[in-house]
Amino acid sequence: MSCCAPGADGFAGGVQSLPSDDEVRFSARNLGDGVFQTELSVPAVHCGACIRSIEAGLGRLDGVEAARVNLSTRRVTVRWRGEALPPIVATLARLGYAPTVFDEPEGEKDRTLSELLVAVAVSGFAAGNIMLLSVSVWSGAEGATRDLFHWVSALIALPAMFFAGRIYYRSAWGALKHGRMNMDVPIAIGITMAYALSLYETIHSGPHAYFDASVTLLFFLLIGRSLDHVMRERARTAVKGLARLAPRGALVIGAGGARDYLALSEIEPGMRLLVAAGERIPVDAVVEAGLSDIDRSLVSGESAPQKVAEGDAIQAGTLNLTGPLTLAATARAEDSFLAEMLRMMEAAEGGRARYRRIADRVSAAYAPVVHLTALATFLGWMAATGGDWHRAVTVAIAVLIITCPCALGLAVPIVQVVAARRLFEHGIMVRDGGAMERLAEADVAVFDKTGTLTLGHPRLQNLQQIAPEALAAAAALAANSRHPLSQAVAVYDEGKGPVFEAVAERPGFGVEGRAEGSLWRLGRAEWARGDGASGEVADEGTVLSRDGAVLARLEFDDAIRPDAREALAELEDRLGPVEMLSGDTARACRRVADRLSIAHVEAGLMPADKVARIEALARQGRKVLMVGDGLNDAPALGAAHVSMAPATAADIGRNAADFVFLRDSLSAVPVALDVSRRAGRLVRQNVALAIVYNVFAVPVAILGYVTPLIAAVAMSTSSIIVIANALRLGRVRR
């Protein structure tokens, strides 16, 4: 990574495969006049220097007309001209910002946000102007002047009610139609009644009009709603921008040998596909020709790459590591392994579907109470005044306005926005506020092994037992290969090894090269020792050999994520028991579990077994936090009460997870727990504050002492108190 600020290191990147030029070309949008626009996601961008190096680097390329980085969404938009695609991907990768392609239905982009912002602006304009007029009325304007002010207020408020209020009307109507209650129902009823009453008062030259209250209320609530939306949208686009594991399409070999890049949905069983080294397998297929190693870690949880040759079946989503493969597709994209996982996820939809957000639960109880109180007030005043309906309606509407749920409509989103911001600073993205509430409840943590507790790529383990010269030679040779084991060795390349010539990668075996008059091989033991090794027992290890003589034996294990031990200890302490469920072999699991001192381990699990285990825990009344990354974890992520995934996870897993953490360190899990619990405390405090406020304000309103002035003051004060309380989360406690 080429950048400056701390925190840049450890962002997911590095090991991901780059999108091919075919894929980028395919996703480019034609703007006409031979100009194309390509949007790429660059998750590693995070500061001004990054903007400059990317824009300058891309701007220098031939054919590129303009390059613009968007730091908020971590994307770069490149406009280019001509037939051939400029080397955008290669340039970005060289600069240290590995790009990824993403899907996005056009036109849908943030229409909701624009609508909300316009609504905030209109209601803010109306609220400000009406408040100016209202202050004049409260300070003593009378007679014709007061009536004039009321009329002007009514005129200003009308478009605001229609334009800004329609968001609430729509939502409230949607809820009522389905026989449900949400926060928007009392809001919609409250502002409409207040407006209607005020209009009536104005027509009859009455002294009290509530135009300011209804529009100010709308303004405050819309701010809360916009914040909520911005937070969710931001997390969503950032998650979307990470590597997509299913390619958009594949190179198909036609009848006459012609090669075409077809979209994933157009690939039919029987088609012959060409998958280069370093690309993902698009659909379930059988190898027709070629020899390679396949990384299945995201699909099955197995940590060691697997050799494939002619006739082997491979699943969609696995990564082709070393050699080009010609495949015959056996299933369509929607029938492939990936889609099967999706179906399992739907079937396993667990505690999450049943969970209702605190705000929704409170509002379901709150709205009827408010309406009943207002109705009772109306009836009470009718009885007490002997049928003075005007007085009764006025007081009842004052009750509605006073009880309008500002605290819940504004303070809960603000707590969650501040909390999400906190999490974002720690490299954690959260799907929505409900996820934080669920995380705060979790009482057992379940981890996947490969890619979650470990980084999912191997590390040289027996460094001390290898002679320095042998290591230097192995590293120099390994630098020529993209096999994960080679890359783990190539880290130690300091340019001290011999200079190799005629280097060749032998898919399924290893890499070989000539230097100092000998043939050096790094790879599978029986291959590296040459053909004469037949008499011995099968040897699976990795060795470095020179003319068939073994120089060094290399042992690998999967690197454990930084801070994993501390994070797990903290979780055991504060959350509850920690378990490990893995699809890998019992031996590999045991090694990791021993190092992290995890007591409960289950190995060799199929995706359905993981779901079964989580459901068994749920039946015992436990709330499960599932942390996992693979395709095979996706159903389990969906079944758990709350779930987390690293950014390197399969995209289906990332979409299923409530939280996604961007950095390598596993300390993200306790951090998320801590922030969620504090946010949960603040939400409950705010609800309590709102109740206390109502305990004082409602009797005053019922007794008929509320004037527009008192309503405005009470409403603003309660809003400010709950917002101030929410902002306490802003202070970091570390």
Rounded to whole angstroms, how far apart are CA atoms 508 and 292? 5
Strand partners, 581: 448, 602
Rounded to whole angstroms, how far apart are CA atoms 615 and 445? 13
| 675: its two tokens | 């922030």
Residue 398 in contact with other proteins, rule: CB under 8 A: no
Residue 71 in contact with other proteins, rule: CB under 8 A: yes
Which of these ranges, 120-128, 430-438, 453-461, 719-727, lies near other proteins under the rule CB under 8 A?
Answer: 120-128
Rounded to whole angstroms, how far apart are CA atoms 79 and 38? 6
Residue among 117 and 309 whose Cβ is closer to other proteins: 117
Q: Contact 444/577 with Cβ under 8 angstroms?
A: yes
- From 6, 83, 105, 107, residue interacting with other proteins (rule: CB under 8 A): 107
Nearest distance in Å: CB 289, other proteins: 45
Q: Contact 352/638 with Cβ under 8 angstroms?
A: yes
**Number of residues forming the site for other proteins (CB under 8 A):** 32
DSSP summary character for residue 562 = T
Strand partners, 100: 41
| 206: its two tokens | 């009455």
Q: Contact 296/315 with Cβ under 8 angstroms?
A: yes
Nearest distance in Å: CB 145, other proteins: 6
Rounded to whole angstroms, how far apart are CA atoms 628 and 624? 12
Cα 304 to chain centroid, rounded: 28
Nearest distance in Å: CB 237, other proteins: 12
Residue 128 in contact with other proteins, rule: CB under 8 A: yes
Rounded to whole angstroms, how far apart are CA atoms 685 and 682? 5
448 assigned to active site: yes
Which of these ranges, 93-101, 111-119, 602-610, 684-692, lies near other proteins under the rule CB under 8 A?
Answer: 111-119
Tokens 């032998």 belong to 506
Residue 343 in contact with other proteins, rule: CB under 8 A: no
Residue among 52 and 94 whose Cβ is closer to other proteins: 52
- From 9, 34, 52, 375, residue interacting with other proteins (rule: CB under 8 A): 52
Residue 5 in contact with other proteins, rule: CB under 8 A: no
Nearest distance in Å: CB 624, other proteins: 35
Which of these ranges, 124-132, 269-277, 439-447, 496-504, lies near other proteins under the rule CB under 8 A?
Answer: 124-132
Nearest distance in Å: CB 71, other proteins: 3
Rounded to whole angstroms, how far apart are CA atoms 74 and 51? 10
Which of these ranges, 109-117, 238-246, 589-597, 601-609, lies near other proteins under the rule CB under 8 A?
Answer: 109-117
Give the Cα-Cα-Cα angle 379, 381, 383 (nearest 5 degrees): 70
Residue among 76 and 489 whose Cβ is closer to other proteins: 76
- From 31, 606, 688, 703, residue interacting with other proteins (rule: CB under 8 A): 31
Nearest distance in Å: CB 72, other proteins: 5
Which of these ranges, 148-156, 574-582, 634-642, 674-682, lies near other proteins under the rule CB under 8 A?
Answer: 148-156
Which of these ranges, 145-153, 286-294, 295-303, 673-681, lies near other proteins under the rule CB under 8 A?
Answer: 145-153
Residue 73 in contact with other proteins, rule: CB under 8 A: yes
Closest by CA to 670, choosing from 598, 514, 566, is 566
Residue 206 in contact with other proteins, rule: CB under 8 A: no
Strand partners, 428: 661
Q: Contact 317/281 with Cβ under 8 angstroms?
A: yes
Taking CB under 8 A as the criterion, which residues in 154-193 touch other proteins? 156
The most distant pair of C-alpha atoms in the chain lies apart, rounded to whole Å, by 113
Residue among 31 and 365 whose Cβ is closer to other proteins: 31
Q: Give the DSSP H/E element, type plus range, for residue 542.
A: strand 542-546
Residue 60 in contact with other proteins, rule: CB under 8 A: no
Rounded to whole angstroms, how far apart are CA atoms 263 and 286? 19
From edge to edge, which strands make up the β-sheet containing 659-661?
428-430, 659-661, 642-646, 624-627, 444-448, 578-581, 600-602
Residue 129 in contact with other proteins, rule: CB under 8 A: yes
Q: Give the DSSP H/E element, type plus range, for residue 444.
A: strand 444-448
Nearest distance in Å: CB 52, other proteins: 5
Contacts of 308 (CB under 8 A, 6+ apart): 287, 291, 292, 293, 294, 314, 325, 508
Contacts of 126 (CB under 8 A, 6+ apart): 156, 157, 159, 160, 164, 215, 219
Which of these ranges, 128-136, 354-362, 443-451, 521-529, lies near other proteins under the rule CB under 8 A?
Answer: 128-136
- From 47, 289, 491, 504, residue interacting with other proteins (rule: CB under 8 A): 47
| 108: its two tokens | 């849908």
From edge to edge, which strands make up the β-sheet containing 272-275?
259-263, 249-253, 272-275, 325-329, 285-289, 313-314
Which of these ranges, 62-70, 254-262, 395-403, 486-494, lies near other proteins under the rule CB under 8 A?
Answer: 62-70
Taking CB under 8 A as the criterion, which residues in 453-482 touch other proteins? none
Residue among 52 and 684 whose Cβ is closer to other proteins: 52
Nearest distance in Å: CB 81, other proteins: 15
Residue 421 in contact with other proteins, rule: CB under 8 A: no
- From 122, 420, 440, 455, residue interacting with other proteins (rule: CB under 8 A): 122
Residue 518 in contact with other proteins, rule: CB under 8 A: no
Nearest distance in Å: CB 546, other proteins: 52
Rounded to whole angstroms, how far apart are CA atoms 490 and 476? 7
Task: Identify the active-site residue in 147, 184, 293, 448.
Answer: 448
Contacts of 376 (CB under 8 A, 6+ apart): none
- From 28, 69, 596, 603, residue interacting with other proteins (rule: CB under 8 A): 69
Residue 48 in contact with other proteins, rule: CB under 8 A: yes
- From 82, 94, 145, 541, residue interacting with other proteins (rule: CB under 8 A): 145
Which of these ranges, 143-151, 350-358, 525-533, 692-700, lies near other proteins under the rule CB under 8 A?
Answer: 143-151
Residue among 144 and 695 whose Cβ is closer to other proteins: 144
Strand partners, 359: none
Contacts of 503 (CB under 8 A, 6+ apart): 477, 480, 511, 512, 513
Q: Over 366-411, what HEC string results?
A: HHHHHHHHHHHHHHHHHHHHCCCHHHHHHHHHHHHHHCCCHHHHHH
Nearest distance in Å: CB 83, other proteins: 21
Nearest distance in Å: CB 233, other proteins: 12
Helix, strand or coil, per DSSP, at residue 355: coil
Residue 121 in contact with other proteins, rule: CB under 8 A: yes
Residue 4 in contact with other proteins, rule: CB under 8 A: no
User: How far apart, in Å, are the Cα atoms of 485 and each of 457, 482, 694?
Assistant: 8, 8, 65
- From 77, 192, 306, 330, residue interacting with other proteins (rule: CB under 8 A): 77
Residue 117 in contact with other proteins, rule: CB under 8 A: yes
Nearest distance in Å: CB 110, other proteins: 9
What is the number of H-type helices and E-type strands within the chain?
Answer: 26, 27
Task: Give the pairing type, strands 292-295 and 319-320.
Answer: antiparallel
- From 2, 21, 61, 70, residue interacting with other proteins (rule: CB under 8 A): 70
Residue among 152 and 253 whose Cβ is closer to other proteins: 152
Rounded to whole angstroms, how far apart are CA atoms 482 and 459? 14
- From 118, 372, 384, 724, residue interacting with other proteins (rule: CB under 8 A): 118
Nearest distance in Å: CB 602, other proteins: 43
Task: Return the active site residues.
Answer: 448
Contacting positions for other proteins (CB under 8 A): 31, 37, 47-48, 51-52, 56, 66, 68-73, 77, 107, 109, 114, 117-118, 121-122, 125, 128-129, 132-133, 144-145, 148, 152, 156
